[in-house]
A and B are shown apart, each in its own frame.
Chain A
Amino acid sequence: MSIDKTSPTPGQDEHVVENPEAAAAAVTVVDPRLLVREQGLTGYVGEFKRKMRAGDLGSIPVVIGLIVIGVVFQSLNSAFLSAENLNNITITMVGTGMISVGIVFVLLLGEIDLSVGSVSGASSAIAAVLAVNQGWPEWAAVLFAVAAGAAIGAAHGFFFAVLGAPAFAVTLAGLLFWLGFMLQTLGANGTINLDSDGLIGSLTTYYFTDIAAAYGLAAVVTAVFFITSFLGNRRREAAGIPSRPLNETILRTALLAVICFAAAFMYNQYKGLPLATVIFLVFLVATDFVLRRTSYGRKVFALGGSVEASRRAGINVTAVRISVFAVSGGFAAMGGLFLASKIASANQSAGTGDLLMNAIAAAVIGGTSLFGGRGRTWNALLGVMVIVSIQYGLQLESIAEPVKYMITAGVLLTTVVIDSITRRTQKTAGRA
């Protein structure tokens, strides 16, 4: 950010200047105490250090965590960083990751949705019954299941937003109810096998095998990022407000390009670009856009900051709350379909076990605050990467389920502690 020398304040210039120094101060809008970043790399490092001290850790802890996970498991078993294993990790994480995206929305309000595991199971059961037992075309069954998930979420939202019941309690009831509903729907048999070549089946099995697909996507992502940043900065410059220097835009683009092309290279070492990954990325980009670039997203953040202030600003608090729970239910349903696709069936254990905990943990590990008002849907990606990588790593070491639970719990607790400390530091640094 640069200091702009503003023109004299209108309405002030006719005053007689008695104290030239004070007059000069009066026309500078930017506070001289504001720490302005120096140009170039030193400025960048300086700002980074300042942010760290202010508790503005962002995604740093989770990126460090991922590196540690990679190094540790690779040293234990050299198959961990193989293209095949990494490829499997990125496909497996989509189911939980989708659910986690919905959780990010709810956490932004400062609320929680405990029903997402059961809702994902119920939705996959609905899709399976419609597609297999009722003979619906799969695309219709998928659409209906996702709509059902959103409707279920909206119902939870209704009890919370209109009737004023705590979201925690409503969704806890939902957890049990939709679990029962799923078991009821699946019937005596308990398992409905899906056509593994059908739409749901291919969600996690289809690959874009042409190597051009992965590289092409990486190139498109990088180019779009650069062009939007560049044009955005040009507009800011034209409007006379602080903009990001070009070299910084280039640096960011380069970093993104390295990550994208490395991922593309890794995918092409195995079977190619998985469809699941593409769908997940599309939803991440879309939700990030909605949250940060639309007035709906601004409302979600506002509610996480202060409900009363939002209400007084004319925001329809009830509608936004219901919609957020509907989003959560919809993403839970989509997650459920990916999880069903992975095992090519809808069965009684769907949506149970540690799924709910993992989805919430992923959002929090990625950097979404449990206290509301801070977070991005990309957090879900980073968080779920950590969780699924640990699961796969432990599996390679053939470590038993009980120990996996304990290790995942440890990671979650660490993250919550980091979140709480971050919040405390941010409060003292005036950023929360």
Chain B
Amino acid sequence: MVHVSATPVLALRGVSKRFGAVQALTDVELEVHAGEVVALVGDNGAGKSTLVKTIAGVHPIDEGVIEWDGRAVQINRPHDAQDLGIATVYQDLALCDNIDVVGNLFLGRELRKRGVLDEVEMERRARDLLTTLSIRIPSVRIPIASLSGGQRQTVAIARSMLGEPKLVILDEPTAALGVEQTAQVLDLVERLRERDHAVILISHNMADVKAVADKVAVLRLGRNNGVFEVKSTSQEEIISAITGATDNAVTRRAARTTGEVSK
């Protein structure tokens, strides 16, 4: 059984976010505890990435409160979130194409020795990290531009693992990954939970969600549409929460295909 602490590491209370004429988030509530994996699901444009970016300080919230360890905090810029111990892997990757893998892993928190970049130590740690995560890339000294989409994704994930974050947010981390790498990322999520980190995982893949998440929070059109315990909830219930109806494209399609099979 997963140990869950009393005060959530992160709690969102009535968070709203507007982009001009678009109300991307309305009164969103979310709680994540240490040692807990919360899956955030919802249709395209539901506001998942926007929610992640408000937590990460990319888009500051318009209304509501963000609580960290039970204390209300202001997250106005990415630096604030990093200081709290929030590491984020964005859906639209945040890597610099012209800088090599080591440089990207340590971007914004370079190791220094007497004020000078400690390239040797950074390279050594980068290699260690990539090895423990079983990430395979040609060389840690080639620019990000020469990596495949999935390799970049793994670099972005590795980047979030540096420096013992308390909360790791993964926005569709496996979308570009092969079968083996996907399994590795799921393993990694489980390892993070074992080490008592909190994880927010965004995914459209219900199998992945069921495999690693403890709770599923559903967003629909920028609002909460239920939080489910993974163990006691069927996939159909989650899908109907995502689409907003028990009679939806997914169930209709399922009915049609089983009907065809039985003919």
Contacts and interface: CB of A to CB of B under 8 A. Distances in A.
Given A33-B138, A432-B98, A9 B78 contact: no
Contacts of A353: none
Interface stretch (B30-38, B126-134, B208-216): B126-134
B103 A430 contact: no
Contacts of B121: 239
Contacts of A305: 96-99
Interface in A348-373: 372-373
A314 B138 contact: no
Given A30-B138, A232-B120, A314-B79, 8 more contacts: A9-B134, A241-B124, A294-B116, A306-B94, A311-B58, A312-B78, A314-B108, A431-B145
Contacts of A429: 146
Contact of B139 (A30, A302, A431): A30
Given A29-B136, A298-B117, A240 B124 contact: yes
Interface in B188-215: none
Task: Report whether over half of chain A's contact residues are helix, strand or loop; otherwise say mixed.
Answer: loop
A176 interface: no
Contacts of B28: none
Nearest to A6: B131
Interface of B: 56, 58, 77-79, 82, 88, 90, 93-99, 103, 107-110, 112, 115-117, 120-121, 123-124, 127, 130-132, 134, 136-139, 141-143, 145-147
7 residue pairs, one from A and one from B, having the closest CB atoms: A305-B96, A313-B108, A373-B98, A430-B146, A34-B138, A305-B98, A309-B94
Max count, chain A CB within 10 A of own CB: residue among B82, B117, B137: B117
A301 B96 contact: yes
Contact of B95 (A235, A294, A306, A314): A306
B97 A432 contact: yes
A315 interface: yes
A313 B145 contact: no
Nearest to A298: B110
B98 A311 contact: no
Contacts of B108: 302, 310, 313-315
A9 B132 contact: yes
B116 A12 contact: no
B146 A312 contact: no
A311 B78 CA distance: 7
Given A314-B82, A315-B108, A1 B95 contact: no
A248 interface: no
B98 A301 contact: yes
Contacts of B117: 293-295, 298
A38 interface: no
Interface string A380-408: 00000000000000000000000000000
Contact of A236 (B78, B95, B120): B120
B136 A309 contact: no
Interface of A: 1, 6, 9-12, 26, 29-31, 33-34, 232, 235-236, 239-242, 293-295, 298, 301-302, 304-306, 308-316, 372-374, 426-427, 429-432
A312 B58 contact: yes
Nearest to B147: A430
A313 B107 contact: yes
Max count, chain A CB within 10 A of own CB: residue among B109, B120, B136, B143: B120
Given A239-B121, A294-B117, A432 B145 contact: yes
A309 B145 CA distance: 14
A319 to B, nearest CB: 12
A30 B142 CA distance: 12
Nearest to A4: B127
Contact of B120 (A10, A241, A302, A313): A241
A106 to B, nearest CB: 16
Nearest to A1: B139
A245 to B, nearest CB: 16
Contacts of A301: 96, 98-99, 103
B115 to A, nearest CB: 7
A312 B56 contact: yes
Max count, chain B CB within 10 A of own CB: residue among A316, A427, A431: A431
A227 to B, nearest CB: 15
A269 to B, nearest CB: 38
Contact of B131 (A29, A235, A293): A29
Contact of B94 (A298, A308, A372, A431): A308
Nearest to B187: A11
B127 A241 contact: yes
B98 A374 contact: yes
Contacts of A10: 131-132
A315 B104 CA distance: 13
A383 B26 CA distance: 56
Nearest to B110: A295
A294 B115 contact: yes
Contacts of A304: 98
Contacts of B138: 30-31, 33-34
A33 B138 CA distance: 7
B146 A373 contact: no
Contacts of B82: 314
Contact of B145 (A239, A302, A311, A430): A430
